[in-house]
Every structure is written in C-alpha cells, then in structure tokens.
Chain A
Amino acid sequence: MGLGLLASRTLRSSSRIFHNNGPTTHFLRTITSTPDLNNADASASAVQQPDLPPRNPVGGARVHFPNPEDAIEVFVDGYPVKIPKGMTVLQACEVAGVDIPRFCYHSRLSIAGNCRMCLVEVEKSPKPVASCAMPALPGMKIKTDTPIAKKAREGVMEFLLMNHPLDCPICDQGGECDLQDQSMAFGSDRGRFTEMKRSVVDKNLGPLVKTVMTRCIQCTRCVRFASEVAGVEDLGMLGRGSGEEIGTYVEKLMTSELSGNVIDICPVGALTSKPFAFKARNWELKGTESIDVTDAVGSNIRIDSRGPEVMRVVPRLNEDINEEWISDKTRFFYDGLKRQRLNDPMLRGPDGRFKAVTWRDALAIVAEVMHQIKPEEIVGVAGKLSDAESMMALKDLLNKMGSNNIFCEGNGMHPNADLRSGYIMNTGISGLEKADAFLLVGTQPRVEAAMVNARIRKTVKATNAKVGYVGPAADFNYDHRHLGTDPKTLVEIAEGRHPFSSALKNAKNPVIIVGAGVFEREDKDAVFAAVETIGKNNNVVRPDWNGLNVLLLNGAQAAALDLGLVPESDKCIESAKFVYLMGADDVSLDKLPDDAFVVYQGHHGDRGVYRANVILPASAFTEKEGIYENTEGCAQITLPAVPTVGDARDDWKIIRALSEVAGVGLPYDSLGAIRSRIRTVAPNLLELDERQPATFSTSLRPEVSQKVSETPFTPAVENFYMTDAITRASKIMAQCSALLRK
C-alpha cells in the first residue's frame, strides 16, 4: 500500500468524522460498510467514532458483574459494551440498548432458539446467528441493523405468517400481540402466499385457558413454562415439521395453579384467557396498578377495568415478590366482584328478613345498641381482606368504647404480636433463593401461597436444595421428603434423632417455614418452641441470615399483628353480646350467644351475613385505597380501579361515621390523618413497597413449658380456589374447584 493511498484513506476517514454530525451518518454507514469492514483497521477506527449518540439499556436494565475479571467487551452496531462472560448476544444487545425481536426467547425460561426471529449479523460469521442462543465472545462485532439481518427477519416473518390465520379482528390478543407488532415492524409489505393454511385441532386445557391452536407459532414458551416454572409436565410438542403442534398428548386439563401465566407468555393469540374471551379490547381498558389480597403474598397486579367493571387482572413485574407471574386465583377471581355484592345498608326485621334502610338509620341503631352493652362484651373481628387503615379505625373505635377484644381472623386467639420476627417471613420471598435446605412445618405452600411455592421450586431446581415436609399428605411439584404428620417429628428433628436433621445441619442457609395454620392449634407455643430449637441447633438464625419464617395465609394478617389486634380474652366470642364483623366470614360464630347483636360490615353476602343483624355495605379492595402488608413484611397499597357498588362506603369511613354517631368521634377524617395515626402505632406500614425486616429475632421469647400434642397438622387451606368472600362468589373459581382440584 503506497503512502499516497494511506494518506488519502486517513484524509477520507477524518473527513467522515467531520461530516458525521447529521442525518448523513446512516447513509454513509450503510453504503460504505462493506469496503470498510473488510479492513480491520478501518472498522476499528469506525468503532472508535465518538459520533454515536449514547443509548440506554432496554428497560433500564443494569448489569451485575459477579467477577470483574470476567467482563468482556463486544461491539453492538459499533458501540463498545462491557458485559459479563456467559451472556448471550441478545442480552449484550439489550445492554447496548438494542431490542432484538424475538418469539421463543423469554428471560425467565430456558433457551430454545427455535423461532429464528432474533437473527443478527456477526462479523466473520458466515450466516446470521440466532442471538438468543449464541454466547457473546470477546471482541464480537454484532450488527443488528444490516440488510442481512433485516432480510433474515423478513424471511422468518414470512414463514411464520404462512400458517398463521388472518383472524386478528376476532382475536383476543389483537392489540397486544407480539406477532402483530413485529410483522408491522419487520415483516414484508406483500405476501407470496397461495396455498391453503394449515389448521390444528384446539385443545381443552380447562376453564381458564382458551386455545386456538391454529394461531400457534410453536415458540414452545408454554411448554417450557409448564415444565420449568409451574412444575407440571402437562404440555408438550407433538409431531414434526408442518405437523408440529402443542398439546397434552392425551385429553387432559392443565392442572397447575400457575396455568394462567401461559396466557401472558404466549406471543400470539393461541393461548388466551377463557373468561376474558370476546369481552373487551385491550386498548379500551384502563389499567390500575394494585395489589392482590386473596393470599398473603401481595402479588403486584394491574387491574384492567372498563367503566365500573373489572375486566381482567394481569401481573406486574416485582422481582422481590411475584417476579412476573401470578397464581390462577389472583388472575381469575375478579368475576366474584360482580356477584353477591351488598349494596345497601340493611336491617334484619323481626321476621328474620333483611330490609334496606338509610345509612342514618343503620348507624343510629348500631350506635344505640353498642351503648347498651357492657364494654367487655363488645368484640370486633377484622376479616382476612381488611386493609390497615380500617383495622386501625376499628381498634380505635372499640378501645374508645372501652373494649379491647379485637382480633383478625386466622391469627388465632393467642397471637404473638410482640416480636415481629415471629410472624413474618424473615428471609423475604426473594431471599428464599439463597436457601439450600427447607423444612416446611404444617404448611402446603402450593395452596397457601402459590408464588412462594414457585420461588421454592425455582430454588430447588437451581441448587438441588433439600426439602423436608411435616404435615398432612400434600401435593408438591418438586422433590421433597415427607418426614411426618404431627409435631412429634419436630421434636425428633430438634433433638437430632431424625435423619433429616443432618441435612439441615449441613446446609449453609437453612430455611424453616411454619404455616399460619399452626396459629389455630392448641399447642401453638410448643410447636414454635420446637421450631426455634431446631433453628438454634442448625444455625438457622445468624446475624447475616434469619431463616426462621412464618408463611401467613391472608392479606390482613401481618398488618393486624403489626397494629396489635390481639384479643384481651380468648373466650371473648362465647361471652360477646355485640360483635362487629369487619368482613370476617371465616370466624366461627357457633359459640356466640343467641341474643348477641351482630353487625356485618363487608362487601359480599357471605357466611358472616347469615348471622348478622345489621349489614353495612363496604367497598372491595378494587374500589378503595388501602395498605396491605404481605407475609414478608412489605407494605403495599391498593388503588381504586372501579367505583363502589350501590350505596357502599369505604371501610374506614363507615367506622369513622359510626364513631361520630355513637358520640365517641375518632380524631381523623381523611386517609392522610388515619395514616399519621398508623405512624404512631406501626410506622413500618407506611414504608410502601419496601420490605421492613424485623429488628429482633424470636430468641427473646420466654421459655414455654407447654408440650407438643400428638394431633397431626391439618391443611390450612382446603380449596386453593375458594378462600375468601370474593373468591367464593366467583363462578370461575367454582368451575376451577370442580374441575381442577385433586
């Protein structure tokens, strides 16, 4: 190469830099790429160009380097990007701020690499590579926007659309369909299709998932989800070539409690929600970011509503709680919000029938009766769906009336509210992933908290953690050892006589999870003492690790204990003359005297109403703003998505109004004021979306002399699909209970 040629090349490249701050950049890059790229020096100098505007990673992603030496540098469209070793080309592109189109790749599932949509050009590679399956190598030069990559995508798109029906106008996925969006962005503007499209027989996957299998593009996301996350080997791929289809092989329903998530991960309209089918279009829905309260996990959800009606519930991403999945109960209970609702204040007449009255009359009667009864005979029960504000107001009202008999259902009559570490999940839900041995005591996480179970399954799958289970025969979707059915087994483990104690002893981060069903047992203190002994002997509680967990059942439990809803006497129901049920349907009223006056404040005509004398209609959690604390001690807030039904009022407002009518006015009349009252009792409830760990460990507890009984543990949740007033009113949940319960 002559000196003159070199000089002219230098000149040219410098002049390129000079010209490079305008719309001509793209033009120059496209046209002159080939000669430049054949020359390593020139392409290196092209990489060094400072002209490219900075880009941000897709979705604000951040890269964590477990080991700084393992960082490698790759070039994406000319940008140098530092990534840890082992990342794929697609992940490197995401870090560089380039979103690669994809169908089969999903960050939480294994890599299949069969859709070929993510093809990119890599320098010195003879063919375009599937970026989701190709590991990034040091110095790799990735090009995502070249004619070769575009042509590859267009070709893949054409093949996918060849057998995809043109039924977007009647497809429920329309408007939020990956195939639709990507064919708009990367597809060809004309088709060469002349033959017949193939058709596939629809599969019956149960009452929740609707299938239109002709729309399937065989990305196998649902197959991988079912086997990897849900832990059921129900779905699979049948046939080869054009006869390939997803199915269950034999006629079989999908019996996972997480099956609804295949609706979200399906990139096309092959798997859609059956209850939502043909009900609404996604662009006419209003999304409200809220919290699920049907179990104690507090999954983050988005409530999609149209006018006064909740149309569907979809998950929101929260890595610490539910990742991006939700259970079927969370996703499909919403039709219960339309049935059995209480919409007017009602009074039971002498003939035993309810008669609608005005709020004025209803409150006046309740206030009058309340004053005629001795303070110690007044009892308040908070239901499992109560928010912290209304529980605070109820406790304040009863205390002002002179009674201290208030509790939250599910917490039992002797709740331990003194040490917060004794009733929350101390590791946190995401902290379970660090564990390498689990001991489940009287809890069936699969039905009590499906998202916690998914987390345990993830851990077991990733680290082969050992799981021991003490309790009644239960269904698990991971390897476990059934150690026994009664608390005697715990004593054996505590004394080191049981084979499982060596597994616990050898574990680095052992976790013990006690189910909240134990709260209702007579020998609750002894069981907890035994568990604590196990913890002490196996190094479960250390300064850097607290693996002693309680898995709660209901959305209100943790907040109730934080607010100190503890009954003064454990026989309060037997001696009560006035019972205030705030949405409490599962508390046993059999022993209640017949002449007791029962007020039911709630949103559904459920079990509590049968015994009630007065009904005060309240709003459901989709209609009010309320703080709920989940089982790991993270306070979160629900937001109103739809208006209240009929003449219903928010829970705390009813209690505030009643207090004034009764002449014991509570000193707050706004949500802000009631929250500052909560701040004086349990300030952790106001630290929203942030887990507040317990300060003291349970080792401060006094010694217990109680002995464990031989009564076996009982299941805390009999029917996963129907646990509270809303889910019991839901038709879909009833269908699920009939078809899917094992």
Chain B
Amino acid sequence: MAHIMLKKLKVPANSGSLEEARSRTFEFFRMCCRSIPHIMEIYNLYDVVTPSQLRSAAAAEVRKNSNVTNPKVIDMLLFKGTEELMNIVNQSKQRHHIVGQYVVGNQGLVQDLAAKDQDTSNFLKNFYGSNYS
C-alpha cells in the first residue's frame, strides 16, 4: 500500500541534474495518485469529489511550478509536496482542510461563472475586486 510506503519515506539526496529531478517529480505525482483512493476513504470524500478531480487538483499543484528549472528548487518543492502528502495520508489534517484546499480550491464557494465581465477592462475587473490592485 502506498500509504505504508509513504510513512517510511526518507528525503532523498539532491538531484544531480534536471532530468533526475524531472523523473522524481513524476514519481511523486504517481505516489499522490496511488494514495488518492486511501485519502477518499479516510476523509470520506465520496459525496464531494471524484478521484479524477483530486488527481487533476494534484496535477494543477504540480503544474503551478512548471516554470522552475533549478534542480535544487525542484527538490525543495518535492520535499514540501511530500510533506503535504504525508500530512494528508497520516490524517494530520481534517476533512475541511482537504475540502477547502483541493475540492473547493482558491476560487471560494461562490463561483462567478457569468460571462458579464468578459469584455470589461482590467481596471474594472480590479475595481470590482478591491480598492487596492
């Protein structure tokens, strides 16, 4: 089981090259994917999210840093990702953490999907957002 492996996880040595870091990233993502069924189980997420949605959430988190090319930085990000995954799998978090971070996401509960702001300027979009932008 993936989560049992995870518990024994050690921080690996630094990646020697970008290639090595890249392969480690994929390995990390696969590990995430493998632990998703267990996460669904322990946090009882069946009624709010599907495994594939969680997978896309995890992929989005990885893609957020797709511009990073420094292997050292990638190693650091992998370490933080592993730590986060460990916290989730060990149930150091609670259900609302998972729901808030990976199910609802940054947009918040109210998702304005209306098309009315489509042709407005950046100024107006910022204006609706806040006074300071």
**What residues make up the interface of A, taking CB atoms closer than 8 Å to B?**
358-360, 619, 643-644, 648-650, 653, 656-657, 660-661, 665, 669
CA distance A89 to B123 in the complex (A): 61
The reply on B46 being an interface residue by CB < 8 A is no
Which B residues lie within 8 Å of A661 (CB)? 124
Query: What distance in Å separates the Cβ of A337 from its nearest Cβ neighbour in chain B?
Result: 16
Which among B122, B127, B132 has the greatest number of chain A C-beta atoms within 10 A?
B127
CA distance A648 to B132 in the complex (A): 11
Instruction: Verify A649–B127 contact, CB threshold 8 A.
Output: yes
**Tally of contact residues, B, Cβ under 8 A:** 10
Instruction: Verify A657–B124 contact, CB threshold 8 A.
Output: yes
Q: List 27 A-B contacts (CB under 8 A).
A: A358-B128, A359-B127, A359-B128, A360-B116, A619-B131, A643-B132, A644-B131, A648-B131, A649-B127, A649-B131, A650-B131, A653-B127, A653-B131, A656-B123, A656-B127, A657-B123, A657-B124, A657-B127, A657-B128, A660-B121, A660-B123, A660-B124, A661-B124, A665-B121, A669-B121, A669-B122, A669-B123
The reply on B92 being an interface residue by CB < 8 A is no
The reply on B120 being an interface residue by CB < 8 A is yes
CA distance A649 to B133 in the complex (A): 11
Considering the complex, give the chain B residue whose CB is closest to the CB of A666.
B123
Given A657-B123, A669-B123, A360–B128 Cβ distance below 8 Å? Answer: yes
Other A-B pairs, 12, CB within 8 Å; known A643-B132, A660-B121, A669-B121: A358-B128, A359-B128, A360-B128, A619-B131, A648-B131, A649-B127, A649-B131, A650-B131, A653-B131, A656-B123, A657-B128, A660-B123
CA distance A723 to B17 in the complex (A): 71
Considering the complex, give the chain A residue whose CB is closest to the CB of B117.
A360
CA distance A660 to B127 in the complex (A): 11
- State which of A643, A648, A660 has its C-beta within 8 Å of the C-beta of B120: A660
Which B residues lie within 8 Å of A656 (CB)? 123, 127
CA distance A644 to B116 in the complex (A): 27
Query: What distance in Å separates the Cβ of A618 from its nearest Cβ neighbour in chain B?
Result: 10
**Residue-by-residue, is B90-133 near A (CB-CB < 8 Å gives 1, otherwise 0)?**
00000000000000000000000000100011111001100110
CA distance A657 to B127 in the complex (A): 7
Which A residues lie within 8 Å of B116 (CB)? 360
**What residues make up the interface of B, taking CB atoms closer than 8 Å to A?**
116, 120-124, 127-128, 131-132
Which B residues lie within 8 Å of A648 (CB)? 131
Considering the complex, give the chain A residue whose CB is closest to the CB of B132.
A643
CA distance A656 to B122 in the complex (A): 12
Which B residues lie within 8 Å of A644 (CB)? 131
Closest 3 A-B residue pairs measured CB to CB?
A669-B123, A657-B127, A649-B131
Query: What distance in Å separates the Cβ of B9 from its nearest Cβ neighbour in chain A?
Result: 43
Which A residues lie within 8 Å of B127 (CB)? 359, 649, 653, 656-657
CA distance A643 to B128 in the complex (A): 17
Considering the complex, give the chain B residue whose CB is closest to the CB of A661.
B124
CA distance A360 to B123 in the complex (A): 13
CA distance A643 to B121 in the complex (A): 25
Which B residues lie within 8 Å of A657 (CB)? 123-124, 127-128
Which A residues lie within 8 Å of B132 (CB)? 643
Which A residues lie within 8 Å of B128 (CB)? 358-360, 657
Considering the complex, give the chain A residue whose CB is closest to the CB of B121.
A660
Considering the complex, give the chain A residue whose CB is closest to the CB of B114.
A360
CA distance A358 to B123 in the complex (A): 17
Which among B121, B122, B127, B131 has the greatest number of chain A C-beta atoms within 10 A?
B131
Query: What distance in Å separates the Cβ of A366 from its nearest Cβ neighbour in chain B?
Result: 14
Which A residues lie within 8 Å of B131 (CB)? 619, 644, 648-650, 653
Considering the complex, give the chain A residue whose CB is closest to the CB of B116.
A360
Which B residues lie within 8 Å of A619 (CB)? 131
Query: What distance in Å separates the Cβ of B112 from its nearest Cβ neighbour in chain A?
Result: 9
Which A residues lie within 8 Å of B121 (CB)? 660, 665, 669
CA distance A657 to B129 in the complex (A): 12
Which B residues lie within 8 Å of A660 (CB)? 120-121, 123-124
Query: What distance in Å separates the Cβ of B78 from its nearest Cβ neighbour in chain A?
Result: 38
CA distance A619 to B128 in the complex (A): 15
CA distance A656 to B124 in the complex (A): 9
Query: What distance in Å separates the Cβ of A712 from its nearest Cβ neighbour in chain B?
Result: 47
Which among B121, B123, B128 has the greatest number of chain A C-beta atoms within 10 A?
B123
Query: What distance in Å separates the Cβ of A472 from its nearest Cβ neighbour in chain B?
Result: 44
Query: What distance in Å separates the Cβ of B61 from its nearest Cβ neighbour in chain A?
Result: 31
CA distance A653 to B123 in the complex (A): 9
Query: What distance in Å separates the Cβ of B133 from its nearest Cβ neighbour in chain A?
Result: 10
Query: What distance in Å separates the Cβ of B131 from its nearest Cβ neighbour in chain A?
Result: 5
Which B residues lie within 8 Å of A665 (CB)? 121
Query: What distance in Å separates the Cβ of B40 from its nearest Cβ neighbour in chain A?
Result: 37
Which B residues lie within 8 Å of A669 (CB)? 121-123
Query: What distance in Å separates the Cβ of B128 from its nearest Cβ neighbour in chain A?
Result: 6
Considering the complex, give the chain A residue whose CB is closest to the CB of B129.
A359
Query: What distance in Å separates the Cβ of A359 from its nearest Cβ neighbour in chain B?
Result: 6
CA distance A657 to B131 in the complex (A): 12
Which B residues lie within 8 Å of A653 (CB)? 127, 131
Query: What distance in Å separates the Cβ of B123 from its nearest Cβ neighbour in chain A?
Result: 4
Considering the complex, give the chain A residue whose CB is closest to the CB of B128.
A359
CA distance A660 to B122 in the complex (A): 11
Query: What distance in Å separates the Cβ of B6 from its nearest Cβ neighbour in chain A?
Result: 43
CA distance A358 to B116 in the complex (A): 14
CA distance A359 to B121 in the complex (A): 15
Which A residues lie within 8 Å of B122 (CB)? 669
CA distance A359 to B120 in the complex (A): 14
Which A residues lie within 8 Å of B120 (CB)? 660
CA distance A643 to B131 in the complex (A): 9
CA distance A7 to B21 in the complex (A): 85
Query: What distance in Å separates the Cβ of A623 from its nearest Cβ neighbour in chain B?
Result: 9
Query: What distance in Å separates the Cβ of B126 from its nearest Cβ neighbour in chain A?
Result: 9
CA distance A358 to B124 in the complex (A): 13
Query: What distance in Å separates the Cβ of A516 from its nearest Cβ neighbour in chain B?
Result: 32
Query: What distance in Å separates the Cβ of A638 from its nearest Cβ neighbour in chain B?
Result: 15
Considering the complex, give the chain B residue whose CB is closest to the CB of A364.
B116
CA distance A650 to B131 in the complex (A): 7
Which B residues lie within 8 Å of A650 (CB)? 131
CA distance A661 to B124 in the complex (A): 9
CA distance A661 to B127 in the complex (A): 12
Query: What distance in Å separates the Cβ of B113 from its nearest Cβ neighbour in chain A?
Result: 14
Considering the complex, give the chain B residue whose CB is closest to the CB of A624.
B131
CA distance A359 to B128 in the complex (A): 7
CA distance A696 to B123 in the complex (A): 41
Which A residues lie within 8 Å of B123 (CB)? 656-657, 660, 669
CA distance A653 to B127 in the complex (A): 7
CA distance A665 to B124 in the complex (A): 11
CA distance A699 to B122 in the complex (A): 50
CA distance A643 to B120 in the complex (A): 26
Considering the complex, give the chain B residue whose CB is closest to the CB of A656.
B123
CA distance A643 to B133 in the complex (A): 13
CA distance A277 to B120 in the complex (A): 49
Query: What distance in Å separates the Cβ of A265 from its nearest Cβ neighbour in chain B?
Result: 38
Which B residues lie within 8 Å of A649 (CB)? 127, 131
Which B residues lie within 8 Å of A360 (CB)? 116, 128
CA distance A238 to B91 in the complex (A): 76
CA distance A53 to B2 in the complex (A): 75
